A and B are shown apart, each in its own frame.
Chain A
Amino acid sequence: MMVDGVEDEEKWLAAGIAGLQQNAFYMHRALDSNNLRDALKYSAQMLSELRTSKLSPQKYYQLYMRAFDELRKLEMFFKEETRRGCSIIDLYELVQHAGNILPRLYLLCTVGSVYIKSKEAPAKDVLKDLVEMCRGIQHPVRGLFLRSYLSQISRDKLPDIGSEYEGDADTVNDAMEFVLQNFTEMNKLWVRMQHQGPAREKDKREKERSELRDLVGKNLHVLSQIEGVDLDTYKETVLPRVLEQVVNCKDEIAQCYLMDCIIQVFPDEYHLQTLEILLGAFPQLQPSVDIKTVLSRLMERLSNYAASSTEVLPEFLQVEAFSKLNNAIGKVIEAQADMPILGAVTLYSSLLTFTLHVHPDRLDYADQVLGACVKKLSGEGKLEDNRATKQIVALLSAPLDKYNDIVTVLKLSNYPSVMEYVDSETNKVMAMVIIQSIMKNNTQISTADKVGALFELIKGLIRDLDGAAHDQVDEDDFKEEQNSVARLIQMLQNDDTEEMFKIICTVRKHILTGGPKRLPFTVPPLVFSSLKLVRQLQGPEENPFGEEGSTTPKKVFQLLNQTIETLYGVPAPELALRLYLQCAEAANDSDLEPVAYEFFTQAYILYEEEISDSRAQVTAIHLIIGTLQRMHVFGVENRDTLTHKATGYSAKLLKKPDQCRAVYACSHLFWVDDQDNMKDGERVLLCLKRALRIANAAQQMSNATRGSTGSVTLFVEILNKYLYFFEKGNTQINAAAIQSLIELITAEMQSESNSPDPAADAFFASTLRYIQFQKQKGGAVGEKYEPIKV
């Protein structure tokens, strides 16, 4: 059915255009032969095509435009006629003889244009006549286009200030009156369309109305362009008249469009000064009008106006813009009790942006807005609407973007309350926004209170909130979130050690609610933060005895012990081991032997009981040996116990090469360069010999299982260690021992059962080169190396 209708319309339009063009052709012929009568006859016939009711607005427009073009030529002809002596008044009368009213009125307007230009009558008289005559057409589409024509041809002829048509009798008021009247009549026609036709075609009608709306709105545009309409005129006359029409027409579509039109078309300073009048109209509008969008756009415009220059800001204060808008919004929300939450939040969001732009220093205003929003939210429960949630994120992000400082934002007492009403997903989104803001702006959050408030705010990241389905979280997203929290912890800093300790305790309290999934991410940064604090406490300014109850390294270490323990439940033994060893080193620097020993004990227990993966064991044992090697705080007994254990672990690693390497690494445990009493040459040698035995065993195993003895790399490594201690002055290692090792390696390499290994060969070669280099050095070193033959 619809398709047929469209096809029909196309046919009618084509027919109309054809008719129009044909008559236009004859009209032109008449114009060329100066035949006024014929010209009028054919132009009237041409215009009759516009009498149709069959076309939709879009199609009618096409017809109209062609007629418009033809009428321009006719107008020029009329002008020529008057110059040739024809009286314009006569002409004006002559055209009224046209048979049908619509063509008559088009012609009248056309002549009227020439009439005004001739200045034989005041512009206002002609305009008044025309605007009232047009009342003759009450059909909406035809009437709207006719009046639109009138508006178009009269635009440059309005008696505006400074216009040539201004005179004693003609003033701006007349221009204004004319446009206002045309506007009023057009709006009435437009509204009438809503009620024409059967109910089932309502959608079609509303669509057609929408196509026509700019015709009506144009009048407001014209009004805004009239020079003589200044702020006072606008305030006294224009706005009240326009609003009167808008309110009284009681039509939802018209009200919505026109309110928006007013806001877009007139300057922002006018809006500021007429804020009360404008806002007063809103409650009078039809309940179904989308006030929130219009109000939001008004506030957006005013926000941008405020942002454009600081000079305009006092104006805002003078008109008390904030309180007026605040009240208006409150009234609207109250009046429309069933407004969806999205609407209310959008309004508050726009108002907040406005407030931040216009009154950036009035945190209390911003807080007020948030408070009102909370009140509205409290009646709703948790939000379900996606778009509403997005608006809340916009609402909460606005102060962050403005102040670039979460600390200032936290001063808004209602800010956390708003966060309460979002679901856990949104909380996480917001939390990430907040963390990003902190990192981007390098915000200093330096007291425990603020830290606590902050962590409360971002609790969606810190722990599983009620009802949150944790299994749905994407792995990568989760990691990203937790890493952000970790980075955040790095940003919390205060040079005052007491306050810093409080901060650490506060953070700890929060992250411990995170559960096993989060601890591996959040515990390490807290640990390192604490270790930095320990360093601070050791600083020269710090009184080592401190005051009663003040923070001491010991207190921090206690806290650290309890914190790292929580990783057992994850379980994360490798991470815990690393952290214990870090703490041991820090305790070493603080000269706290029992504390350091305790940390080592914990690390060892983890190694023995929890770390069973071979590769992990190798890394762990190297970390243990490396750390232990640097300890100077241990007494002989403690050191012996720990060393003994470490060498024991080394010898029990699964793979022989790993065993070998760990054991010769242990040799360094018996030789510490800067402590003379820590140089036990014998035990060093014992270790190296043990390593040799293991290397040998490895060779034999290889021979037995694979038929070849495998690489000599291990032997070369041990040789290098021999050289190391030889140079350091270990008397147990002499040139002869080195020589025999060199020969052993050479023999192994040349043996039949040895599979060649270029890397090992190169290694051996560079070792020999090194020996050669040392020999050539001369002096004490050269002497030492002299007996070794390569």
Chain B
Amino acid sequence: MVLVLAIGDLHIPHRASDLPQKFKSMLVPGKIQHIICTGNLSIKEVHDYLKSLCPDLHVTRGEYDEDSRYPETKTLTIGQFKLGICHGHQVIPWGDLDSLAMLQRQLDVDILVTGHTHQFKAYKHEGGVVINPGSATGAYSSFTFDVNPSFVLMDIDGLRVVVYVYELIDGEVKVDKIDFKKTATTRLAH
């Protein structure tokens, strides 16, 4: 059982002052093995905070990030899964699932984690799964009028990944989960 936190679009301090307190008390160091961050942190303090939760931190560049050295895309292997990260402002039209599927094919990954729209999505297509963890702070977005703060925790176990999404709705944390299974022929099935 490997826990991977997928989080992004915090936009601190341009659009939000801090992570919601309820999220902060849930995210404790030592519980998570990897962190995948879609970008737009946007300052070093947020990077340091995430690093304190888990030293294996992977960040891709969002258009507001202070540190311009983050890569545009990143791929990594966790257990049986290949994961790809990209902020998403580079994929036009923004939020378009077919265009994102193309990126997924290009990176040749089972799971593509992407952001930019501040909308949580977990979508399965023939080539794999696309996950958007939304905005962890509920930051303003031109896409979505009502952004609920959200993040995703993936539990990777063998050929199976369970995606837990945590959303802060009206002051309460709501959890939902989705199961994905991968067949041995590297094709992801639901």
Cβ-based interface call for B92 (8 A)? yes
Q: Is B55 an interface residue (CB 8 A)?
A: no
Do A490 and B15 touch (CB < 8 A)? Answer: yes
Task: Give 1 or 0 for each of B100-137: 1 = CB within 8 Å of chain A CB.
Answer: 01100110100000000000000000110000000000
Chain B interface, number of residues (Cβ within 8 angstroms): 29
- Please judge, given known A-B contacts A532-B140, A623-B63, whether A763 and B105 are in contact too, CB under 8 Å: yes
**B126 and A773 form a contact (CB under 8 A):** yes
Which residues of A lie under 8 Å from residue B145 when comparing CB positions? 535
Most buried by B among A483, A586, A623: A483
Q: Quick one: which of B18, B94, B98, B127 contacts A626, CB cutoff 8 A?
A: B94
| Interface-lining segment among A511-519, A523-531, A688-696 | A523-531
Most B CB atoms within 10 A — which of A484, A532, A625, A720? A720
Residue of B nearest to A531 (CB): B140
CB of A126 closer than 8 Å to a CB of B: no
Q: Which chain B residues (74-112) contact chain A, with CB distance < 8 Å? A: 89-90, 92-94, 98-99, 101-102, 105-106, 108
Q: Confirm or deny: A224 has a beta carbon within 8 angstroms of a beta carbon on chain B.
A: no
* CB interface residues, B 45-93, toward A, < 8 Å: 45, 63-64, 89-90, 92-93
Q: Which of A483, A619, A727 contacts B13 (CB 8 A)?
A: A483
Interface size on A, residues (CB 8 A): 46
* Interface flag for B14 (CB, 8 Å): yes
Residue contact A578 to B127, C-beta cutoff 8 Å: no
Let me know if A724 and B94 touch, CB within 8 A. Answer: no
- Shortest beta-carbon distance, A667 to chain B, in Å? 9
Chain A residue nearest to B64 in the complex (CB): A578
Do residues B15 and A528 form an inter-chain contact, with CB atoms below 8 A?
A: yes
B160 to chain A, nearest CB (A): 22
- Chain A residues near B14 (CB-CB < 8 A): 486, 524-525, 528
In the complex, which residues of chain B have a beta carbon less than 8 angstroms from the beta carbon of A789? none
For the complex, what is the distance from the CA of A623 to the CA of B90, rounded to whole Å? Answer: 8
Query: Which of B14, B101, B102, B106 counts the most chain A CB atoms within 10 A?
Result: B14
Question: In whole angstroms, how far apart are the Cα atoms of A582 and B98 in the complex?
Answer: 24
Q: What residues of chain B lie closer than 8 Å to A665, measured between beta carbons? A: 92
Q: Quick check: A622 and B90 within 8 Å, CB to CB?
A: yes
Q: Cβ of B15: which chain A residues have Cβ within 8 Å of it? A: 490, 524-525, 528
Taking the complex as formed, is B142 at the interface, i.e. its CB lies under 8 A from any CB of chain A? yes
Q: Is B16 an interface residue (CB 8 A)?
A: yes
Query: Contact at A766–B18, with CB atoms within 8 Å?
Result: no
Known: A491-B17, A578-B63. A766 touches B93 (CB 8 A): no
A717's partner among B90, B102, B126 (CB-CB below 8 A) is B102
- Residues from chain B with a CB closer than 8 A to the CB of A479 are 43-44
- Any B CB within 8 A of the CB of A629: yes
A487 pairs with B126, CB closer than 8 A: no
Chain A neighbourhood of B99, CB < 8 A: 724
The one of A531, A535, A623 that contacts B89, using a Cβ cutoff of 8 Å: A623
Return chain B residues, CB-CB under 8 Å to A589: 142
A531 to B145, CA, bound (A): 11
Supposing A490-B15, A525-B13, A727-B98 touch, asked if A766 and B92 sit within 8 A by C-beta, the answer is: no
CB <8 Å contact, B102 and A720: yes
Tell me the minimal C-beta distance from B71 to chain A in angstroms.
12
Q: Is the CB of A486 within 8 A of B108?
A: no
**Nearest CB in chain A to that of B137: its residue:** A490
Task: Give CA–CA (A724, B15) in the complex, Å.
Answer: 34
What residues on A are CB-neighbors of B44 within 8 Å?
A: 479
With A532-B140, A770-B105: A487-B17 Cβ-Cβ less than 8 Å: yes
B5 contacts A by Cβ under 8 Å? no
A582 and B92 in contact (CB under 8 A), knowing A487-B13, A766-B108? Answer: no
With A525-B13, A585-B142 in contact, is A439–B105 under 8 Å at CB? Answer: no
Contact A763:B63 (CB < 8 A) given known A490-B13, A525-B14: no
Q: Which of B102, B106, B140 has a CB less than 8 Å from the CB of A724?
A: B102
Knowing A630-B94, A770-B127 are in contact, say whether A622-B89 is a contact too (CB < 8 A). Answer: yes
B17 lies within 8 A of A625 (CB): no
- Is there a chain A Cβ closer than 8 Å to B152's Cβ? no
Q: Which of B16, B18, B92, B105 lies in contact with A625, CB distance below 8 A?
A: B92
Interface contact A770-B126, CB-CB below 8 Å: yes
Min distance, Cβ A52 to any Cβ of chain B, angstroms: 66
**Chain A residues within 8 Å of B17, by CB:** 439, 487-488, 490-491
Contacts of A770 in B (CB 8 A): 101, 105, 126-127
- How far, in whole Å, are A7 and B12 apart by their CA atoms in the complex? 69
Q: Is A169 an interface residue (CB 8 A)?
A: no
Chain A residues near B98 (CB-CB < 8 A): 724, 727
Q: Is the CB of A626 within 8 A of B102?
A: no
Cβ-closest chain A residue relative to B46: A483
Shortest CB-to-CB span from A491 to chain B, Å, is 6
Residues of A within 8 A of B (CB): 439, 479-480, 483-484, 486-488, 490-491, 521, 524-525, 528, 531-532, 535, 578, 582, 585-586, 589, 619, 622-623, 625-626, 629-630, 665, 668, 713, 716-717, 720-721, 724, 727, 759, 762-763, 766-767, 769-770, 773
**Interchain residue pairs A-B with the least CB separation, the first 4:** A486-B13, A585-B142, A487-B17, A490-B17
Q: Sample 15 A-B pairs with CB under 8 A, ordered by A number.
A: A483-B13, A483-B43, A487-B18, A525-B14, A528-B15, A578-B64, A585-B142, A622-B92, A630-B142, A668-B93, A724-B99, A727-B98, A767-B105, A770-B101, A770-B105
Given contacts A490-B15, A585-B142, 16 further A-B contacts (CB under 8 A): A486-B13, A487-B13, A524-B14, A528-B140, A589-B142, A619-B89, A622-B90, A629-B92, A630-B93, A716-B106, A717-B102, A717-B106, A763-B105, A766-B108, A769-B127, A770-B105
